[in-house]
Chains A and B, each alone.
Chain A
Amino acid sequence: MSGAGLLGSAQSVSQAVALHCEGITKAFQGVHAVNGAAFEIPQGQITALIGPNGAGKTTVVNVLSGAMKCDAGRAFLGDTEITNWPSYKIARQGLLRTFQLSRELGGLTVLENLLTAPPHQAGDSLVNVLLRPGSIRRQEREHAERALHLLEVYRLYRHRDTRARELSGGQKKLLEMARAVMASPKVLLLDEPMAGVNPALIDLIGDYILDLKRSGVTVLMIEHNLNVVEKICDYVIVLAEGRTLATGRLSELRENTEVVKAYLGEVMDAGAAR
Chain B
Amino acid sequence: MTYYVFTLVFFLFDYFILAMGLNIQYGAAGILNFAYIGFVAIGAYFTGVASLPANTLGQQYILGLGLPFPLNTLIGGLAAMLLSVAVALITLRRLRTDYLAIVLISMSLVLYDFCNNFVSMFNGADGLYNVPEPFAKTLGLSVNSFIPFFACVAGVVALIMWFVMSRVTRAPLGRTFRAVRDDHVVAAALGKDVFRMQLKSMMIGSFYAGIGGGLLIQFGGSFNPTAWLPGETFVVFAVLIVGGAGNNIGMFVGALLVETLLIHLPAFLPEIPGHPGLIEYFDLAVVGIVLMLMLWFRPQGMVPESVRRAASFGASERPDGEADDLELGTPAAPARVAFESGDPQ
Instruction: Give A contacts to B, CB under 8 Å.
Output: 44, 65-67, 86-88, 91-92, 94, 96-97, 99, 103-109, 111-112, 115-117, 119, 121-126, 129-130, 133, 136-137, 140-141, 144-146, 148-150, 152-161, 163, 170-171, 174, 179, 181, 183-186, 198, 200-201, 203-204, 207-208, 211-212, 214-217
Counting chain A CB atoms within 10 Å of each CB, which of B187, B246, B345 scores highest?
B187
Q: List 20 A-B contacts (CB under 8 A).
A: A91-B190, A92-B191, A103-B183, A105-B182, A109-B307, A112-B178, A116-B175, A119-B191, A123-B173, A124-B192, A126-B204, A136-B172, A137-B314, A144-B315, A148-B318, A155-B325, A158-B324, A161-B307, A185-B342, A215-B342
Q: Is the CB of B172 within 8 A of A184?
A: no
| Minimum Cβ distance to chain A for residue B195 (Å) | 9
B343 close to A (CB within 8 Å): yes
Interface secondary structure of B, over-half rule: loop
Task: Determine the chain A residues whose CB is within 8 A of the CB of B325 once the complex forms.
Answer: 155, 158
Of the candidates B318, B337, B344, which one forms a contact with A157 in the assembled complex, judged by CB atoms under 8 Å apart?
A: B318
Cβ-defined contact, B175 with A153, below 8 A: no
- What chain B residues lie within 8 Å of A130 (beta carbons)? 164, 167
Residue of A nearest to B190 (CB): A117
**Closest residue of B by beta carbon distance from A164:** B182
Is B341 a contact partner of A91 (Cβ separation < 8 A)? no
Q: A123 contacts which chain B residues (CB < 8 A)?
A: 171-173
What residues of chain B lie closer than 8 Å to A145, measured between beta carbons? 315-316
Q: How far is the CB of B164 from chain A (nearest CB, A)?
A: 7
Which residues in A have their C-beta under 8 angstroms from that of B316?
145, 148
Task: Return the chain B residue nearest A118 by Cβ.
Answer: B340
- Extra inter-chain contacts (12) besides given A121-B176, A157-B321, CB under 8 Å: A88-B190, A88-B191, A111-B313, A112-B308, A123-B171, A124-B172, A126-B204, A146-B338, A155-B324, A211-B336, A215-B339, A216-B339
Q: Is the CB of A170 within 8 A of B326?
A: yes
B154 vs chain A, min Cβ distance (A): 22
Are A184's CB and B324's CB within 8 A?
no
Query: Which one of B181, B308, B334 lies within 8 Å of A208 (CB-CB)?
Result: B334
User: Are the C-beta atoms of A184 and B340 separated by less than 8 Å?
Assistant: yes
B179 within 8 A of A: yes
> A159 to B178, Cβ gap below 8 A?
no
In the bound complex, do residue A99 and residue B186 qualify as a contact, i.e. CB atoms below 8 Å apart? yes
Nearest chain B CB to A236 CB, angstrom units: 22
Which residues of chain B from 183 to 229 have any CB-CB distance to chain A below 8 Å in the complex? 183, 185-194, 197, 200, 204
Q: Does B156 contact A (CB under 8 A)?
A: no
How large, as a class, is the contact surface on chain B? Answer: 35 or more
Most buried by A among B175, B181, B323: B175
Interface string of B293-322 (1 = CB under 8 A from A): 000000000000101111001111010110
Interface residues of B (CB under 8 A from A): 164, 167-168, 171-173, 175-176, 178-179, 181-183, 185-194, 197, 200, 204, 246, 305, 307-310, 313-316, 318, 320-321, 323-327, 330-331, 333-345
State whether A129 touches B173 (Cβ < 8 A). Answer: yes
Closest chain B residue, CB of each to CB of A106? B182
In terms of DSSP, what is the predominant structure of the interface of chain A?
helix
A211 to B342, CA, bound (A): 13
Cβ-defined partner of A198 (8 Å) among B181, B324, B327:
B327
Residues of chain B with a CB closer than 8 A to A154's CB? 334
> Chain A contacts of B181 at CB under 8 A?
107
With contacts A67-B189, A87-B188, A116-B192 taken as known, whether A129 is within 8 angstroms of B344 at the C-beta atoms is no
Chain A residues closer than 8 Å to B344, beta-carbon distance: 44, 216
Closest chain-B Cβ to A153's Cβ sits at a distance in Å of: 5
**Is there an interface contact between A170 and B342, defined as CB atoms closer than 8 Å?**
no
Q: Complex Cα distance A10/B105, Å? A: 66
Q: How far is the CB of B234 from chain A (nearest CB, A)?
A: 24
Could you say which of A108, A153, A183 contacts B334, with CB atoms under 8 Å apart?
A: A153
Which residues of chain A have C-beta atoms less than 8 A from B187's C-beta? 88, 105, 116
- Whether A184 and B185, one on each chain, are in contact in the complex, defined by CB atoms closer than 8 angstroms, is no
A91-B189, A129-B168 given as contacts; is B182 within 8 A of A181 (CB)? no
B329–chain A nearest beta-carbon distance, Å: 9
Chain A nearest CB: distance from B28 CB in Å? 10
Q: Which of B171, B197, B333 contacts A207 (CB 8 A)?
A: B333
Q: From residue B156, how far is it (CB to closest CB) to chain A in Å?
A: 19
CB-CB < 8 A to A214: which residues of B?
336
Q: Which residues of chain B are within 8 angstroms of A129 by Cβ–Cβ distance?
A: 167-168, 171-173
Q: A140-B313, A170-B326, A200-B330 are contacts. A91–B200 as well, Cβ < 8 Å?
A: no
Q: Residue among B204, B334, B337 with the most chain A CB within 10 A?
A: B337
What's the least CB distance linking A18 to chain B, in Å? 10
Which of A67, A123, A208 has most B Cβ within 10 Å? A123
